[in-house]
């Protein structure tokens, strides 16, 4: 009995300190300029490890495909018929200045994404990545340009993508977007449901006020460090845990010690938040959409279910983060990547179907991100860390069926090649984020505050959302 009590108390203390640290964050936005009318949500799907952009968007016109096949001969030999030109899902007749007369295709594992693209519900933004200022091969090699910190490092580039700073960054642009809409009065009743994640998240959803709330893919909101102890307990032990819970939830808790009061407040707020979320999910409408039984499918189902009860959570603006790992394909890429691409295809398509069933497809925009792309050159069995990569944007508000940004040719030594086909980004993360932020309702002044490097870049010639 003593061991169990010590375990409970230790868990309570750790959770209280963490909760206190996260909630003691001051506000910054005071202009109240963001447009928060109606409902809008952004959903970030992050591919951990660095998705090979050269295997996501493939060359399709015969000359370009032949160049690609020569450079990737050893990898294509392992991939077999799946990467034969005749097996690819051509995106033709998409043409224009981005492709410079070339044609491109999706891999055969993504037929549903192809359908969404052709239906005008999905777009590709080519060669996106962290930049401080516009960069070319000449300025990169000559050291004449400021570069993002710690390029090609997983943890650091994940943080730079999410927060414009390397590992250790505190605030992400998703969290700062949330700060702006909270300052405009959105989600005033339950602000804790503004930034929501399905897994451990880096800095992306953390603002000076916004704090990520984690939901379970199983559908229940639980105070795990307490409820895990109820299983199989009865009598005195169950009564003890119920007493602990009631004490933590007591809003009238009063002690002279400041830390004790803060801990009680944090626990009371946490319990109330979980109960509000659980109640909303249980009373909300069930989704008619079937999601694939995959890690990404389960996460996007949890997001869709949360969006379906937005009115019960009094939310007019929400930002979600989900993630999928396994993309660090230095070796075994021919075995690992096709299954991951198929998982993306099924989960994204199901999510779009769910948003349409809810009548919210124009109010929810999904976008992808990753540590970095990968090299066009292969190391025999896989690819190495890159820089820029291609991203997917999905939703009814997206100007779909188009390719934005840039898709460099499948050769080495061009002006966007920093070595081995490692792409120098054409679209800065700041530019990509700003496009999403404008749609979300942020003003130009708010975007400049969240993305201080935005002024170094031109906007895209055509907005993708």
d(CA 413, CA 137): 9
What does pTM read for this prediction?
A: 0.85
Question: What pLDDT does 245 receive?
Answer: 61
% helix, strand, coil for the chain, step of 5: 40, 15, 45
What are 8's two structure tokens? 């409970």
Residue 86 contacts residue 362 (beta carbons within 8 Å) = no
Per-residue DSSP letters for 209-220? S---EE--TTS-
d(CA 205, CA 256): 34
Per-residue DSSP letters for 339-391? HHHHHHHHHHHHHHHHHHHTT-TTTEEEEEEES--EEEEE-SSSEEE-S-EEE
Backbone angles phi, psi at 323, to 5 degrees: -145, 150
Percent of the chain with pLDDT over 90: 72
Host H or E run for residue 319: strand 317-324
Host H or E run for residue 422: none
- Strand 427-428 with 89-90, pairing: unpaired
Helices (H), 184-288: 224-227, 235-249, 258-283
377 contact partners, CB below 8 Å, separation of at least 6? 71, 383, 384, 412, 420, 421
**Domain-wise residue ranges, the chain:** 39-222+291-456
Name the one residue in this structure whose structure tokens are 């002279």. 256
Q: What CA dihedral angle connects 47, 177, 150 and 369, to 10 degrees?
A: 20
Query: CA gyration radius for the chain?
Result: 24
Question: What pLDDT does 224 receive?
Answer: 45
Host H or E run for residue 113: helix 111-118
Question: What pLDDT does 49 receive?
Answer: 98
In this predicted model, what pLDDT tens digit does every residue of 398-425 receive, in sequence order?
Answer: 999 999 999 999 999 999 999 999 999 9
Distances (CA, A) of 11 to 228, 251, 406: 11, 21, 50
Rounded to 5°, the CA angle 465-371-166 comes to 105
**What is the assigned CATH class of domain 39-222+291-456?**
alpha beta
In this predicted model, what pLDDT tens digit does every residue of 121-171 receive, in sequence order?
Answer: 999 999 999 999 999 999 999 999 999 999 999 999 999 999 998 888 899
33 contact partners, CB below 8 Å, separation of at least 6? 180, 184, 442, 443, 445, 446
Averaged over successive runs of 10 residues, the pLDDT of the chain (465 residues) comes to: 34 34 38 82 98 98 97 96 96 77 96 97 97 97 96 96 90 98 95 92 94 82 48 63 61 55 50 78 80 97 95 96 97 97 98 97 98 97 97 97 95 97 98 98 96 94 92
């Amino acid at each position: 009995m003593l061991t169990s009590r010590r375990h409970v108390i230790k868990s309570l203390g750790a959770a209280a300190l963490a909760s206190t640290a996260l909630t003691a964050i001051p506000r910054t936005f005071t202009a109240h300029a963001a447009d928060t009318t109606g409902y809008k949500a952004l959903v970030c799907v992050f591919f951990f490890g660095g998705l090979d952009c050269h295997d996501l968007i493939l060359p399709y016109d015969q000359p370009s495909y032949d160049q690609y096949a020569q450079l990737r001969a050893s990898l294509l030999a392992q991939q077999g018929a799946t990467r034969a030109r005749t097996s690819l899902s051509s995106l033709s007749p998409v043409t224009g200045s981005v492709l410079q007369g070339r044609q491109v295709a999706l891999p055969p594992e993504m037929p549903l994404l192809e359908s969404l693209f052709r239906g005008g519900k999905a777009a590709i933004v080519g060669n996106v990545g962290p930049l401080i200022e516009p960069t070319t091969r000449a300025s990169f090699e000559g050291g004449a340009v400021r570069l993002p910190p710690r390029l090609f490092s997983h943890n650091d580039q994940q943080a730079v993508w999410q927060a414009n700073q390397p590992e250790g960054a505190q605030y992400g642009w998703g969290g700062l977007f949330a700060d702006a809409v909270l300052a405009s009065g959105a989600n005033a009743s339950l602000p804790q449901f503004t930034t929501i994640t399905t897994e451990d998240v880096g800095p992306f959803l953390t603002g000076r006020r916004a704090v990520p709330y984690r939901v379970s893919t199983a559908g229940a909101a639980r105070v795990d460090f307490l409820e895990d102890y109820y299983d199989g307990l009865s009598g005195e032990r169950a009564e003890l845990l119920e007493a602990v819970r009631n004490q933590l939830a007591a809003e009238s808790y009063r002690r002279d010690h400041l830390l004790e009061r803060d801990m009680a407040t944090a626990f009371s707020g946490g319990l109330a938040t979980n109960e509000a979320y659980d109640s909303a999910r249980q009373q909300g409408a069930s989704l008619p959409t079937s999601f694939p039984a995959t890690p990404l499918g389960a996460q996007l189902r949890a997001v869709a279910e949360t969006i379906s009860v937005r009115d019960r959570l009094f939310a007019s603006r929400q930002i979600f983060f989900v993630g999928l790992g396994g993309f660090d394909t230095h070796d075994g890429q021919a075995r690992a990547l096709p299954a991951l691409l198929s998982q993306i295809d099924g989960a994204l398509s199901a999510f779009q179907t769910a948003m349409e069933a809810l009548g919210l497809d124009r109010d929810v925009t999904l976008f992808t991100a990753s540590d970095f792309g990968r090299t066009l050159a292969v190391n025999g069995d896989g690819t190495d860390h890159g820089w820029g990569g291609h991203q997917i944007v999905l939703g009814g508000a997206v100007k779909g069926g188009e390719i934005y940004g840039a898709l460099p040719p499948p050769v080495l030594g061009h002006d966007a090649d920093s070595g081995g086909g490692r792409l120098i980004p054409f679209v800065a993360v700041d530019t990509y984020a700003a496009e999403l932020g404008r749609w979300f309702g942020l003003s130009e002044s708010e975007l400049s505050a969240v993305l201080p490097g935005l002024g170094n870049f031109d906007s895209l010639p055509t907005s993708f959302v």
